[in-house]
Structure 1
Amino acid sequence: MPPAPLVRVSRPEGPDLAHVAEIVLDRPAALNAVSTDMARAIAAAARAVAADEALRCVVLSSSHPTAFCVGADLKERATFTDADLLEQRPLARAAYGAVLGLPVPAVAAVDGFALGGGFELALSCDLVVAGEQAVVGLPEVGVGVIPGGGGTQLLVRRVGWSRAARAVFTGARLSAREALDLGALDEVVPAGQARERALAIAAAIAANSPVALRNAKKAMRLGSGVDLAAGLEIEDACWRATAFSGDRREGVAAFNEKRRPEWPGR
Structure 2
Amino acid sequence: MCSPTVRARLSCAALLAVAVALAGCTSAAPTDLLPAGGVDYQLGTPYDAPSGTAIVARDRLAPPEPDTFSICYINAFQTQPGELGDWPADTLLRSDGETVRDPDWPDEVLLDLGDAGARHLVVEHVGGWIRGCGERGFDAVELDNLDSFTRSGGAFDADAAVQTATTLVGVAHDAGLLAGQKNAAEHSSRMREEAGFDFAIAEECAAFEECSAYADVYGENVIDIEYPDTQGDFPGTCAAGILPERTVLRDRLLVAPGEKGYLLERC
Give the TM-score normalised by structure 1: 0.30
Q: Which has the larger radius of gyration?
A: 1
Name the one with the larger helix percent.
1
Name the one with the larger strand percent.
2
